[in-house]
Homo-oligomer: A and B are copies of this chain.
């Protein structure tokens, strides 16, 4: 089977890193491809970035679906799970977000988990997802390390040490399991597990595991009503806003 990883930011280095992490944990019957948009946000660190990321996910999933060999499953490799509902409308195959997958597996690994993520301004989105996935009881902490996403492109010891510190704090505060709150942390998972002493979950690996399990058992996205094919193709105004005279009519 073929799984397509979608990194909705424009960092090719991070996309390659995520693909490596996914391949390391995929079963022998799984091929992992990875894509990222050519134009878009360089990192997903705000709600405005999330909107750009959602647009990129929609465009990349639709392009793959309409290509010669559509994937058997799609993984959205950004912790905000941008465009998840929209992508589910586009395909019959399973679509799995990495926040979603990480939380579901963390809840099986232990009673309570803590999320360790990048910038504090993204915590609101993370908390929304905790609620959406029914993890209000399971998730006992959300912590921001202050590390910008792109500092994770080339992970140096500083980032690992900082993440370890927050992860250890979460564990001593009641988290049985740590969830890494950024796809860019995927390569740090094994080292952090060893250092912190409790299981550490990378969402990319979790999503690949869930998605491949779903493909093997023939479980895709329900096309009943909400996730049925959408009534029209995605069209958006584009990167350069057109001049107001043409684009925006003011009804004053």
Q: A38-B249, A123-B226 are in contact. List 9 more A-B contacts (CB 8 A).
A: A35-B249, A38-B237, A47-B226, A49-B230, A50-B85, A111-B124, A111-B222, A171-B224, A238-B238
Interface pair B86/A50, CB less than 8 Å apart:
yes
Within the assembled complex, what's the spacing in Å between the Cα atoms of A205 and B217?
6
For chain A, give the interface size range. 35 or more
A-B residue pairs, 10 tightest by C-beta: A209-B213, A134-B134, A238-B238, A110-B222, A46-B230, A38-B247, A176-B222, A47-B85, A47-B86, A205-B217
Interface pair B29/A124, CB less than 8 Å apart:
no
A242 at the interface (CB under 8 A from B): yes
A100 at the interface (CB under 8 A from B): yes
* Beta-carbon contacts under 8 Å, A134-159 to B: 134-138
Interface string of A80-122 (1 = CB under 8 A from B): 0001011011100010100011001101111100000000110
Interface pair B176/A236, CB less than 8 Å apart:
no
A163 at the interface (CB under 8 A from B): no
Given contacts A36-B249, A37-B248, contact A236 B239 (CB under 8 A): yes
Query: Which of the residues B42, B189, B209 comes within 8 Å of A216, measured between beta carbons?
Result: B209
Interface pair B47/A105, CB less than 8 Å apart:
no
* Beta-carbon contacts under 8 Å, A203-231 to B: 205-206, 208-210, 212-214, 216-228, 230-231
Q: Which residues of B contact A15 (CB under 8 A)?
A: 249, 251
Query: Which of the residues B26, B34, B176 comes within 8 Å of A227, measured between beta carbons?
Result: B176
